[in-house]
Amino acid sequence: MKKSTLNLTQGAVIAALYVVLTWISGLFGLSSGVIQLRISEALYAAAIFTPSAVLGLFIGCLLSNILVGGILIDVIFGSIATLIGAFFTYKLRKYPIYALIPPILSNAIIIPPILRFAYGIEGSIWYFALTVGIGEFLSCGVLGYLLYLALKKYGTKL
């Protein structure tokens, strides 16, 4: 398979997985809001193995935010938070223990003002940063790192 076809396929599969896993999180009311635990965020670990994951995660998040009924500013800036996190995860791929920190930070910084000002949810931005940050730590940091270990152990060719 040509490298460009492989990259496109990898990105598309990651985007599709992100959408499906976000939908599953949504079944439990965890895909959006003040308390978020998108299991799809574990897929940031794929960016440690392939640059295709950066665009795949961005497109997956964009589609997911549309499908969960996000407002335009959330769709745009929530997806940009994912793009920033995925880009820096890829850039830090040589240091896997640190590579999953950027998505936690980008979401904990960008999402709280959206919740407060765009959605008009009452509460402190600091509280929202804490709740979003904890959700990101669990989904991206813990589950993502476990996914990284599994992919590394089984010699993935991502």
**Does residue 114 form part of some domain?**
yes
148 CB neighbour count, 10 Å cutoff: 23
**Does residue 158 form part of some domain?**
no
pTM for the model: 0.93
- Tokens (6 digits) for 15: 């985007």
pLDDT at 156: 63
pLDDT at 63: 98
User: Contact at 8 Å (CB) between 90 and 53?
Assistant: yes
Task: Please state the rounded mean pLDDT for residues 107-130.
Answer: 96
User: Contact at 8 Å (CB) between 108 and 135?
Assistant: no
- Give dist(CA 95, CA 140) in Å, integer: 15
Q: Which residues contact 141 (CB under 8 A, 6 or more apart)?
A: 100, 101, 104
**Does residue 145 form part of some domain?**
yes
pLDDT at 154: 81
User: Tell me, what CATH number does 80's domain have?
Assistant: 1.10.1760.20
**Does residue 98 form part of some domain?**
yes
**Does residue 43 form part of some domain?**
yes
How many residues comprise the chain? Answer: 158
Number of separate domains in the chain: 1
pLDDT surpasses 70 at 1: no
Domain with 88, as residue range(s), is 3-153
pLDDT tens profile 68-96: 999 999 999 999 999 999 999 999 999 99
pLDDT tens profile 19-70: 999 999 999 998 988 999 999 999 999 999 999 999 999 999 999 999 999 9
